[in-house]
Structure 1
Amino acid sequence: MGIIAWIILGALSGWIASIIMDKNASMGAIANIVTGIVGAFIGGIVFNFIGAQKVTGLNLHSILVSVVGACILLWIVGVINKK
C-alpha cells in the first residue's frame, strides 16, 4: 500500500475506533490518523498471531484489522493514563 492509502486507512480506522472507544470528542484528525496507522500495525500483529488472513491492501478486512488494533491501542493508553 502507498502512503496515501495508509493515511486514508489510518484516518478511517482511527476515527471509527475513537467512536467505539468513546474518545472521539478528545481526538483530532492527526491523532485519528496516527492511532489508525499504529492500530493497523498492532492489529496486523494480533491477527497474524492468531493465524488470520494477512492485510494485503485497502479493503474491508484491512479496515477491520486496523480498527481492532486501534481499539487495543486506545484501551492500552486509557489504562496507562489512569495510573
Structure 2
Amino acid sequence: MGIIGWIILGLVAGAIAKAILPGRQGGGWLITLVLGVVGALLGGFIGSQIFGVGIDGFFDLSTWLLAIGGSILVLLIYGLVTRGSRAGTTR
C-alpha cells in the first residue's frame, strides 16, 4: 500500500475512531489524520504479532478493522495525555 493509501486509511480510521468514542475529543482533521495513521501502524503491528494478520491491502476487511482498532487505542491515549492540558481553560 502506498503513502496515499496510508493517508486515506489513516484519515478514515481516525474519523471512525472519533465517532465511536464517546465524549468530545479535541483536534482537527490534521490531528485525526496523524492519530489515524499512527493507529493504523499500531493496529497492524499488534495484529501481526498477536493474530498473525497484518495490514496487507487497502480493501481487506482485516486492514480496516486493525486500523480502526489501533486508532481507537491511540485516540484513548491521546485523550488521557491531553486531558490535563484543557483543565485550566474556560469557555
Range into which the TM-score falls when normalised by the shorter chain: 0.7 to 0.9
TM-score by length of 2: 0.77
2:47 is the alignment partner of 1:47 = yes
After superposition, give the CA deviation of every residue in 1:22-51 in whole Å (9 maximum; x if it has no partner): 366633211111111000111012112212
Q: Percent identity?
A: 35
Quote the Cα distance in structure 1 between the aligned partners of 2:30 and 2:82: 20
TM-score by length of 1: 0.83
The one-letter code matched in structure 2 to 1:56 is D
Give unmatched runs, 5+ long, in structure 1. none
Quote the Cα distance in structure 1 between the aligned partners of 2:23 and 2:11: 14
The one-letter code matched in structure 1 to 2:43 is G
Query: In the alignment, is the contact (CA less than 8 A) between 1:15 and 1:24 conserved in 2?
Result: no
Equivalent pairs, count: 83
Determine the structure 2 residue equivalent to 1:34: 34
More helix, by proportion: 1
- 1:74 Cα deviation after fit: 1.1
Shift in CA distance, 35/4, structure 1 to aligned 2, threshold 3 Å:
same
Determine the structure 2 residue equivalent to 1:76: 77
The one-letter code matched in structure 1 to 2:75 is L
Determine the structure 1 residue equivalent to 2:65: 64
